[in-house]
Structure 1
């Protein structure tokens, strides 16, 4: 029997979140394993679900700020160019 449940998603806004500061020099070289170098590119859509909150504007701003700070250390996820090195 097929599952007929559906979820309706409403997109309110789309934004590009940039890193809060430049990536430190010691994190600029990304060392990839052999597996990572030869694995096919994989792109995933991501949908996050949160419980209903009263102050959506403040919560949204906090999420954007925290993501911006994290992208400084994990620059490949921010869409930055990466240099590949063999392990």
Structure 2
């Protein structure tokens, strides 16, 4: 399976960060949490709609549009989430018939096990366009910012 990047952008919240909030403070349990992300892959719609929807959602979920500071206790807000668009030279049905972990991980915007990639980034999303016309979306959100309920609510939005 060959995957190539078509575009990569930073999407900022459409409504901005509420004033005077410019940083988000982690709870003690979030500060102690290991730096891992929860990868999610699902099928949805088109790139422009995703871009617009993401910008609108980041206005409500503004900590997801930030960067984790070096102290790992706060998040700088409003810097945006990374959105990557990739072309996948493969058939979605073949991938789903035999979902090998190393192939599925290529559909994510970052390696979920690479701590260096995760240091500052809170949210990254990758739109995967398959040769067959199928679409897959890989979502990468820091577990320090979003638990399962928050992730589910964000994806539903």
TM-score scaled by structure 1?
0.53
The 1:49–1:10 alpha-carbon spacing in structure 2 relative to 1, beyond 3 Å, is: farther
Q: Distance in 1 between matches of 2:47 and 2:3?
A: 17
Give the match for residue 73 of structure 1: 60
Give the match for residue 8 of structure 1: 2
Task: Name the one with the larger strand percent.
Answer: 2
Gaps of 5+ in 2: 68-75, 78-157
Off by >2 Å, runs of 4+ in structure 1: 23-34, 40-44, 46-51
Gaps of 5+ in 1: 1-6, 52-57, 83-87
Q: Distance in 1 between matches of 2:43 and 2:9?
A: 18
| 1:60 aligned onto 2:54 | no
Q: Which has the higher contact order (CA 8 A, sep 6+)?
A: 1
Query: How big is the shift at 1:48?
Result: 4.9
Task: Name the one with the larger helix percent.
Answer: 1
TM-score scaled by structure 2?
0.33
Query: How big is the shift at 1:26?
Result: 8.9
